[in-house]
Amino acid sequence: MSDHWRSSSSRLLGLYCVLFVAWSSVLLGVMYWRVSDYLNDLAESGLQQRAHLFEKFEGQALDDALRDSLRYDLHGAYAYGIFSRNGQPLSGPLLAIPDGLRIDGHAQAVERWSLRSGPIKAPGRALGVETQDGRLLVFVRQSGKLTAVNSIILDALLWGVSLTVLPGLAGWHILRRRPLRRIQEIEAATNRIIAGDLGQRLPISGRPDEIDRLSSIVNAMLERIEQLMTEVKGVCDSIAHDLRTPLTRLRAHLYRTRVGLEEDDPRAAQLDKALTETDMLMARFSALLRVSELESHQRRSAFVQIDVTDLLQELHQFYLPLAEEKQQQFTLRVVPGISMISGDRELLFEALANLLSNALHFAPEHGQVLLRALDDDGAVRIDVIDNGPGIPPEERSLIYQRFFRGSSDAAQGSGFGLGLSIVAAIAGLHGFRLRAGSAPGGGAWLSIRAAADGLL
C-alpha cells in the first residue's frame, strides 16, 4: 500500500475522503444534538401541558381525569402518581416520587422510578406540581420512544455516510490505477534511458492531460540531448579515427629513423621517448574508439549463454602468475550451481580483465585479491575485491567517466582514465549494473550484476 499512497492522486483522494468523513461526522453530531434537544423540549412541553391541565382538578375529579388520560396513552409512555405532602403514595401507577425530583413545575431528567408493576430503570423526564387540594401530583414520561427516533436518525445518517464513503473508496481504487500504470510505464522507459538507451522515449497515451504534456516536454528534451551527444560523440570519434592514421605514419617514420641510428647516438634516447609517447597516444585513441564502438550497442547479435564458472576460472588462471609476481593471494570463489548469463563472452572477459588488472595493480605486495560469483536475489553477481587504498566515496560516481583519473591513479601516474569507461560501456551493452564500494578490509569492491536471464 505504501507504493499506492505515493501517487498524488491517491493522496488527494484519500485526503478528500478524510475531510468528507470529518465534515459528515460534524454534520451528524450537530443534527443529532438538535434533534435530541428538540425531542427533549417536546417531552418537557408535554409534561408541562399535562401538569397545567390536571393541577386545576381536585379530589375525586382529579383521580377520575388521570385514570381516563391513561386510556389515550396508546404507547404507555406516561405514568402518574398522587402523593401526600410527606411522599406517601395515594393513587396512580407510581409508587414513589423519583429521587431528587423537585416539586416546582419544571421537568427534570430521571434514571429510575417505581411502578406498581415493578421498578423501571430507563432514562426519562419527570415533573411535579401541587394540586388545588394540597396533594402532590407527579408525571413521568419515558424517553424510550424519543430515543428510538434519535436512533433512527443516527442510523440514517450513518448509512448515508457509508453509502457515500464506500463508492468513494471504490472510485479512488479505480481512478488511481490508470495514472499509476502510466507512471510505471514512464519509470520503465526512464530506467532504459538511464541504462544508456538514449533512443528510448517516454510513452504518451494520446490524451492531452498533464502527464502527456510532461512526457512530451521530456521527449523533446531527450531528442535535443541525443542530438547534441551524437554530434559531440561524432566529432570525438572522427578526431580519434582521423588522427590514428597520421599517428601510425608518424610512428613508422620515427621507428625507421631510430633503426638507422647507432645505440650510442645521443638522438636514440630522444627517439625512444618519442616512440613511447606515440604508442601511449595511439593507445588512448584506440581506447576511445573502443568505448564508442561498445556504446553503439552493435554487438548484441553475438550474445550467447555463458558459463560463469568457466569464464572466471579462465580469468583466474590468466592473472594468477601476475599475482604471484607480487606475492599476492589471488582467490577464486564461485557458488555451486551458479546460473548461466547471456552476453558476449569476449567482451565480458575484457571487462572483468580490466577490473582484475586494477585490483592487482593497487593491491600491495602480499596483499589479497578476491574474484567471486554468487547469487544475489536471483541474479548473478560477480565481485572483484582487493585490500588496496580503495576508492573514495566522492569519486565513485566519477570513475566511469572518460579520462577521469582518481587520486590513486594520479599519485602513481598510471592509466589513461579509460579502463573503467570501457567496463561501464560493456556493462551498459549487456544491461548489467556496475557498482563500486568499499571492501570489508578497506579496499575497493566492484561488482557486475545481471538478472537471472542475463538482463535487468
Q: Which domains does the chain have, with CATH numbers?
A: 1-194 (3.30.450.160), 210-295 (1.10.287.130), 300-450 (3.30.565.10)
pLDDT digits (tens, 9 = 90+) for 225-257: 877 777 766 666 666 666 777 778 888 888 888
3-class SS of residue 332 = strand
Q: What local confidence, expressed as pLDDT, does residue 385 receive?
A: 92
β-strand 368-376 against 329-334: which pairing, if any?
A: parallel
pLDDT digits (tens, 9 = 90+) for 329-367: 999 999 988 888 888 888 888 889 989 998 998 888 889
Contact between 168 and 18 (Cβ < 8 Å)? no
DSSP H helices in 385-418: 407-412
Other beta carbons within 10 Å of 244: 16
Q: What local confidence, expressed as pLDDT, does residue 192 receive?
A: 75
Winning range, highest mean pLDDT, from 53-67, 89-103, 164-178 = 89-103
Euclidean distance between CA atoms 433 and 157, whole angstroms: 57
Of 164 and 30, more confident: 30
pLDDT of 207 strictly over 60: yes
Of 120 and 383, more confident: 383
pLDDT digits (tens, 9 = 90+) for 116-129: 777 877 778 888 88
Q: What local confidence, expressed as pLDDT, does residue 204 receive?
A: 84
Q: How far apart are the two ends of the chain, measured CA to CA in Å?
A: 25
The distance from CA 7 to its chain's CA centroid, rounded to whole angstroms, is 9
**Which residue reads 602513481 in cell numbers?**
412
Euclidean distance between CA atoms 8 and 179, whole angstroms: 10
Average pLDDT over residues 10-31: 75
Euclidean distance between CA atoms 179 and 212, whole angstroms: 11
Contact between 168 and 20 (Cβ < 8 Å)? yes
Contact between 196 and 294 (Cβ < 8 Å)? no
Euclidean distance between CA atoms 51 and 38, whole angstroms: 20
pLDDT of 432 strictly over 60: yes
pLDDT band at 410; cut points 50, 70, 90: very low
Contact between 435 and 447 (Cβ < 8 Å)? yes
Euclidean distance between CA atoms 437 and 30, whole angstroms: 63
